[in-house]
Every structure is written in structure tokens, then in C-alpha cells.
Structure 1
Amino acid sequence: MMNRLFRRRRAAVLISEDATVGRVMIERPGAVGVFERFGIRYCCRAHETLGEACVGRGLDPRAVLRDLETCNAEPEDQIDWSKVSATELADHILQSHYGYLEDALPRLESLVNRVASVHGDRRPELVELRRVFGSLKLDLEEHRIKEEEVLFPMCRELDAASVRPDFYWRTVQNPIGVMTAEHEAIAQALAKLRELAAGFEPPADACDAHRTMLEGLAGLERRLHLHVHEENNVLFPKAMAAEAALPRR
């Protein structure tokens, strides 16, 4: 089972400005580091071409393409999620990404509260950061419940079905539409955290707790971007295609 999940080496895919961000991520998973470094939103704007994404951020497309061509296109331990079932991918998201959030969110909440309480009078942006983080944490917890109790069971049912299931939500596209909108709100909250935290760069006089908080927030941003990418650009199309392929009752 696991052997077939790992991405096989293949000829490098030529990347151009006309390639969509989502296609680059699927064909060249090592691009995640490049996109994070340049601030290209590969999770919620995967439909944009590289050229469009660069124009939107005032980037030189040649610099981005140069880094994409030299990045580690297919890390040895990279699993090709486009080749697995929706059930397997949903299980991975629950175990890996939500497992990470179970550990990271309470730890970060404690740090954010401590730093805002100690330094908020002098740095009011930390008080606003605490508010935004608290709202994001609540949204993520509610988002998980919807996926765990509604969407992921629908994905599993579609994988096992021989005819199109008679869902309470009628079609898997309906909860996917809700999750996609919530993903956009999550991305906006992450962007606000980055803005309030000055790009997660610690000020010269930052204490150890402040630096640890910024490190943790940067890690949370990276992990959530990947999490949303795997849902928006791999799981959701996979589930909709599975439903469309099934005959109606």
C-alpha cells in the first residue's frame, strides 16, 4: 500500500508563466517552499497562472521561475496525493494536519496570550494579534467538525458506492462550497496575522516568548497553506469527480 503512495521519479515538468499555480504544486511538490518565500497563495488561488500571481504581488516572474526550476521538485518522502483515494486523503488530513493543529493551537494560544499581556501596552498590535488568533482558532475548530462529521464521511461513501448516494446535502458540491469559502476566510486571517506580526520577523528587543510565538505562527501559516491546498486542489476535485462518475439511482 505505502509503496504505491510515494511519488515515482519522472522527467522534470517544464514550467512556464502560463502554468496554473495549482498544477505546479501537483506536478512539483517542492514548489511549496518557493511559493511560501514569495508569498504566492497556492492554496486558495490555485486557478491563477504563475504570471498572474506574480503580477498580483509585484514579483519578477523570471525570478520565481528560476527558483522553481532549481527547487527539489519531488522530495524523496513526498507522497503523491493525486494518486490516492479521497478516503485515504481524508484520513491523512485528519491524522496529519488536524493532529498538528490539536498540538499547535493550544500551545500557540498560551504564547499569544502571554506575549500580548506582557507587551501589549507597548505594542498594541499584539493585542489585535491575540484577537485575530483567537477567532482563527475557533473557526478552525468549527471547520474541523464540519469536515469530520459531514464532508469526509461523504467522501468515504462516494468511494464505496456503485450508484450515486442519496445525500442529505444532495451533492458533495454543497459542503465543498461551504468549506472553500471558509478556507478563504482562514487564508485572510493568516494574512492578517502576518501583517500584525511584521512578517513574523522578531523585533530587535523581542523576548524569548515573543520569538517562539512568531516562529510558531510562521509554522502554522505554512502548515495551513498546505492543508488547504490538499483539500481545495486535490481532495475536493477528486470527490466531485467520483460523484459525477456514479450513475444515478
Structure 2
Amino acid sequence: MTDITLAPDSIVGDIAARLPGAAEVFRRAGISFCCGADSGLAEAAEKAGVALPALTAELQALIDNAGRDAPAETPALIDHILSRYHDTHREELGWLIGLADRVEMVHGDHDEAPLGLTEALIALRDDLESHMAKEETVLFPAILQGGGAMLAGPIRIMRAEHQDTAELLRRIEHVTHGLTLPVGACGSWTALYTGLRKLCDDVVAHIHLEEEVLFPRVLAS
């Protein structure tokens, strides 16, 4: 479960950044959560011509299922975060940056070209690498040694860095026009956006698992 609540004035950008799967729900509904990040749910639904109850129900289903499969034991949960997210982010960013650079160079004169995407992905890579290194060398070992409530300070820093990461995801969403492919997009462009959709959704799931499961568990121990 998660402590995210849904109300007519709940901010779309906050939901997309914190709830795994919400970004894809908003994309399908035609709701922007980068440029329209400060819009409330009701306002965003009205602009997109979407029924608010149906949108809220779909998001609530995501909340109900969030974190259910998280390992019950903290060492196993950390191992899962390392293998499922840290290793995967590094691998995927490696090839996505090269592919983004190629698409920008080949299609830079297209009206819907994702100009600035390579730069945004490099910024995300550097942001995540710094953050994950702190977790791997300092925070996670301290958790496994039983730091408990004494880790409130480092965890507070990690939460702040998560907000920076969320801003970078919004930047990627913006320069790719909501990860919307133009008509007749080539295979490289299609593969790029498919990979980006997974990466961005994975990063949100990664942050959620730490914010809503790991950190509260540690601070309560």
C-alpha cells in the first residue's frame, strides 16, 4: 500500500512521480504531467475530456496493488532494489543515450523531434549514478547493520534527491512530447520511446519502493 491519496485537487505531477503506473494512465488519457504538472486531477480530467470517477478508479487500483510484491525481509528487499533497479537503470541508460543521440541527429529537423533528449538522459544518468552510489556504499550497508532511526538524516537526503530525479523525468516527458511517436516514425525512434517508457516507469517504481516500503520500515525499526 501507499500513502498517496486521490482527491479532485490532487496534483497530477505529484501522482505521476510517486505512483508506479500512473504515468501510463495519464498518457493514455491524454493528460500532460510535465507541462501540466501543477494541475489538479479534476481540472486535468476535464481538459482531457475524461470522466473523473473512471480516472480516479484506475489510479486507485494502482495504489491498492503498489508494493504488494515487495520482499518481507529487508536484506532481500535491498537485493531486489539493487538487481531489479540499480543494475537495470545502468544497463538501459547506456544504450538509450546512444539511441537518443542517433535519433536527434537523423531527425533533428522534424517538427516532433525530441530535441534535448540526449542531454536530459545524460543528466538523469549522472543523477541516478550519484544517488545509487550513495545507497550502495553508505545507506544500504548502514541499514543492514541495523542503523534504524539513526538513519533519518541520510534518508531525508535521499528523499530530496528523489524529487530532483522526478523533475528530470518530467523533462524527458516534455522533450518527447509525452513519449508520443510521430506518424511514420522509424524503427530507431520507436525503439527509443519504447525503452524510455519502461525506464521512466521503472524509475518511479524504484523511488516508490524506497519511499513507501524500505524507508518507513527502516525508520520504524
Residue type of the alignment partner of 1:80: D
State the SS of the aligned residue for 1:202: coil
The 2-side partners of 1:217 and 1:147 are apart by 24
1:176 aligns with 2:155: yes
Q: Which has the larger radius of gyration?
A: 1
The 2-side partners of 1:215 and 1:129 are apart by 14
Report deviation, 1:232.
0.8
Could you give the per-residue CA deviations for residues 80-130 of structure 1, whole angstroms, max 9, x where no partner exists? 32x613322111100111121132111111101111122224459633111
The 2-side partners of 1:72 and 1:190 are apart by 20
Q: Against the structure 1 CA distance between its residues 67 and 188, is the aligned structure 2 distance closer, same or farther, given a 3 Å change threshold?
A: same
What is the TM-score normalised by the length of structure 1? 0.66
2:135 aligned partner: 147
State the SS of the aligned residue for 1:126: coil
1:54 aligns with 2:54: no
* Mapping of residues 1-249 of structure 1, within 5 Å: 17=7, 32-33=20-21, 36-38=24-26, 54-55=41-42, 57-58=44-45, 60-67=51-58, 80-81=69-70, 84-122=72-110, 126-158=114-146, 171-242=150-221
Q: Is this contact kept in 2: 1:108–1:213, CA < 8 A?
A: yes
Q: Is this contact kept in 2: 1:87–1:152, CA < 8 A?
A: no
Q: How many residues align?
A: 196
Q: Against the structure 1 CA distance between its residues 236 and 56, is the aligned structure 2 distance closer, same or farther, given a 3 Å change threshold?
A: farther
Q: Against the structure 1 CA distance between its residues 69 and 179, is the aligned structure 2 distance closer, same or farther, given a 3 Å change threshold?
A: closer
State the SS of the aligned residue for 1:113: helix
Could you give the per-residue CA deviations for residues 26-50 of structure 1, whole angstroms, max 9, x where no partner exists? xxxxx844564137xxxxxxxxxxx
The 2-side partners of 1:70 and 1:239 are apart by 26
The 2-side partners of 1:183 and 1:56 are apart by 26
Could you give the per-residue CA deviations for residues 210-232 of structure 1, whole angstroms, max 9, x where no partner exists? 11111111111111110000001
> What percentage of residue pairs aligned between the two structures are identical?
29
The 2-side partners of 1:148 and 1:199 are apart by 32
**Greater alpha carbon shift after TM alignment, 133-142 vs 118-127:** 118-127
Residue type of the alignment partner of 2:54: A
The 1-side partners of 2:143 and 2:128 are apart by 20
State the SS of the aligned residue for 2:115: helix
The 2-side partners of 1:92 and 1:239 are apart by 16
Residue type of the alignment partner of 2:69: D
The 1-side partners of 2:183 and 2:214 are apart by 42
Segments of structure 1 that go 5 or more residues without pairing to the other structure are 1-14, 26-30, 40-51, 165-170, 243-249
Report deviation, 1:205.
3.5
What is the TM-score normalised by the length of structure 2? 0.74
